Amino acid sequence: MNHLAHLYLSQHAEKMMVGNFIADGVKGNKYLAFEAEISRGIIMHRAIDTFTDSHVIVSHSKRFFREKYGLYSAVLIDLFYDHFLAKNWKQFSNMPLLFFAEHAYNVFEKYFDQMPLRYQHMFPYMQKENWLLNYAHLEGIQRSLTGMSQRIKNNPGIEHSVSELRAHYDELEHDFNQFFPELQQEMVSHFPAQ
């Protein structure tokens, strides 16, 4: 799962949202340097990734991308599942996606000084281009892929993967709709609201 799903799953606690957001930039036990709730968000992010990466439905989705994009198929599915979450947001939340995105950006502004530099540099672009809201549209996904492709060494052409997303759109959306409720249930059982 990409940013939107991680934030959605931790929305009950601001500091957990921050931890979920910065987790990919916090390696090993360095999460212990953060305050408890941010650390808990980092641990939750890792649990989401582990559950997602090992799930049979996600593996089913990856098969459309594995041959052409190799290991990046996991990154693509994370982003494409965020697209389906954003597109179908009303099924999962009573809060409009626009308001949720604004809330997340306000949280990141509040805890900006506690974020690693990488995320301090990334956040203004995320906010300005409203990544979370724009995941709902294929144009937003394309912009994300183009940006990611410029930062990847030996890029296998992920910026062109929207064509495969379009070709398998209904099946991928079905996979997401089967998978995401399982992920929600798993996270609620391991990380209940406190």
Name the residue ranges covered by the structural domains of the chain.
Answer: 3-190
Q: Compute mean pLDDT per 10 residues along the chain, 194 residues long, and list them.
A: 96 97 96 97 98 98 96 96 98 98 98 96 96 97 93 91 97 98 97 82
Looking at residue 80, its pLDDT comes to 98
Q: Which tens digit of pLDDT belongs to each residue from 143-182?
A: 999 999 998 888 899 999 999 999 999 999 999 999 999 9
Answer for the pair 127, 103: CB distance below 8 angstroms, yes or no: no
Torsion angle, alpha carbons of 47, 48, 51, 53, to 10 = -120
Q: Which two structure tokens, joined as six digits, stand for 61?
A: 């989705």
Q: What is the CA radius of gyration of the chain?
A: 16
Q: Which two structure tokens, joined as six digits, stand for 63?
A: 């098969």
Q: CA–CA separation, 163 vs 156, rounded Å? A: 14
Looking at residue 193, its pLDDT comes to 80
Residues recorded for the chain: 194
Containing 87, the helix (H) or strand (E) segment is: helix 72-87
Q: CA–CA separation, 15 vs 37, rounded Å? A: 5
What is the full DSSP assignment across 125-185? HHHHTTHHHHTTSHHHHHHHHHHHHTT-TT---GGGTHHHHHHTHHHHHHHHHHHHHHHHH
Answer for the pair 111, 34: CB distance below 8 angstroms, yes or no: no
Residue type, 137: H
Looking at residue 153, its pLDDT comes to 86
Q: CA–CA separation, 185 vs 153, rounded Å? A: 36
Q: Which two structure tokens, joined as six digits, stand for 97?
A: 């996606």
Instruction: Note the pTM of the prediction, 2 decimals.
Output: 0.95
Using alpha carbons, select from 139, 142, 151, 156 the residue that is nearest to residue 65: 156
The residues near 178 (Cβ < 8 Å, ≥ 6 apart) are 57
